[in-house]
Structure formats: C-alpha cells, structure tokens
Structure 1
Amino acid sequence: MPGMAHLRGEKYQDIMLIAGASAEVPKGLGVEVNFLADNIDLLTNKVRKANADIVEGPVIRPWNVKELVVRDIF
C-alpha cells in the first residue's frame, strides 16, 4: 500500500508525494522538487531552524532567480 504526504507552503503551493516501488528508478534517485517563494530569505530561515541540510544558497542565478538548494535525507 503506497504512502502519501500532502505538503502545503502557502496558498497554491501544494505538493503531493506518493511513495511507490519502481524497477526503473531506485529509491531516492530521480526526484527533484522546486518551490516558488515570495520571500526566499524567510524560507531559508525556516529551513535552517529545522536543521535541514542546505547544499547551496540562497544564491542569485544568472537567470535572475534566487535559489536555495536543500538535500532530502530520506
């Protein structure tokens, strides 16, 4: 039976994560999740308080987007 998680950041910022087995993609590989946030610095502070593994950022990219990269430990 698959597990499911519903994540909500702000209004219209919903992600549904559904666990399932696949022979083609090993567990933990091939997943990328992107969030759009009005205030990336506020999000960064929340991530730091949660002791998440920040890989990079926040950093302003050449395409004029401020990004934060966080590693999923699961």
Structure 2
Amino acid sequence: MPTPNDEPTDTESQSNDIDIYPMPMFARMEVTDMEDSTDWYREVAGFREVAPLPGIAHLRYRKYADVMLVPADESERPEQAAQATSELAGNGLSLTLNVENETVDDVFERTQSHDATVVSGPEATPWNTRQITLADPDGYRLVFTEPVDTELDFETAMDSLDSE
C-alpha cells in the first residue's frame, strides 16, 4: 500500500490528470473557434480534456493547471463589435506553466510539428529557468518553464542578478 510520500506511477499520475476535484483557481478564456482552440490546447500545448461539457472545453495540463475554453459572445460587448474578437481575447493575459514529465524542448518540438506561433524561446532566463512562450489561436500566451539548476536555491539565483 502506498504511503502519502510515495510518488505516483505514470499510470496513477495520468488517471489523476482527469480526476474531478475542487479547483483552487482556473482560467476562463473566451475563444473564437471552440474546435480549433480545443485541438490547439491538446495537440500543441499538451493539455487533456477533463470532462465533456456542453459549450465548454475543460482542459488540464496537469493537476491544478486547468483552463475552461468558452465561446466568445460578441453580443456582450456591442461597443467592440467592430473589432475582431481574436484581437481582443488574448490581450494582456499570459499563463505560466511549469513543465512536468516533459521539457521546454518537448513543447518546442510540438510547436514545430503543428506550425504553432512561438512568441519567444526556448531561452534561458536570469532567474534560473528555461522557457518558451506560445500564442494560442486567440492570442492568449502560454509560458512553459522549467528550472535549469535544481540545486540552486532562489536566493542565490536572485543574488546573482544583483551582482550583474
């Protein structure tokens, strides 16, 4: 019998990926094309569909990293009807996801096979990570990040920034 400190096996981890639980936070994102966006999140960003819901796509990258895609309703914003929703949807929003069971390079490889938009990266950051930033079909930005030196503590990384 596993103890609370045991790491889940890959099979256990995958089954937990679609468990329904109270989410401490999730992003609700309006999209212009549900099918295209849902496909993008699964194929390019590596999300899984949690539960089929009418008119909503509930997707999960990993435990506690969920998004809800909902169709954009332009009737709620008549003053913006002249502008395309795709120009409005992703404006100013980015989600940062710490990779697990994959690397930033794995994410980059998926983008290449799907001709996805890479905003920046893969690149090293001064705060001891590598990251890649993608733009989804509506302009929302997803930043996938991973630690470079897992032995380096945060304070040391920040001190090295101060000395530059």
Q: Same fold (TM over 0.5)?
A: yes
Match of 2:108 in 1: 44
Against the structure 1 CA distance between its residues 35 and 19, is the aligned structure 2 distance closer, same or farther, given a 3 Å change threshold? Answer: farther
Against the structure 1 CA distance between its residues 31 and 16, is the aligned structure 2 distance closer, same or farther, given a 3 Å change threshold? Answer: same
Rg larger for: 2
CA RMSD, aligned part only? 2.6
Separation of aligned partners in 2, 1:6 and 1:35: 16
After TM superposition, the runs of 4+ consecutive aligned structure 1 residues lying more than 3 A away are 17-23
Match of 1:6 in 2: 58
1:14 alignment partner, SS class: strand
Give yes or no for the alignment of 1:72 onto 2:124: no
Counterpart AA for 1:6: H
Against the structure 1 CA distance between its residues 17 and 33, is the aligned structure 2 distance closer, same or farther, given a 3 Å change threshold? Answer: farther
Against the structure 1 CA distance between its residues 4 and 30, is the aligned structure 2 distance closer, same or farther, given a 3 Å change threshold? Answer: farther
User: Which of the two has greater helix per residue?
Assistant: 2
Match of 1:30 in 2: 92
Q: TM-score, normalised by structure 1?
A: 0.67
Percent identical residues: 26
1:15 alignment partner, SS class: strand
Aligned length: 71
Deviations 1:1-38 (A, max 9, x none): x85322223x4143223456676xx8322321222113
Ranges in structure 2 where 5+ consecutive residues have no aligned partner: 1-29, 31-54, 78-84, 139-164
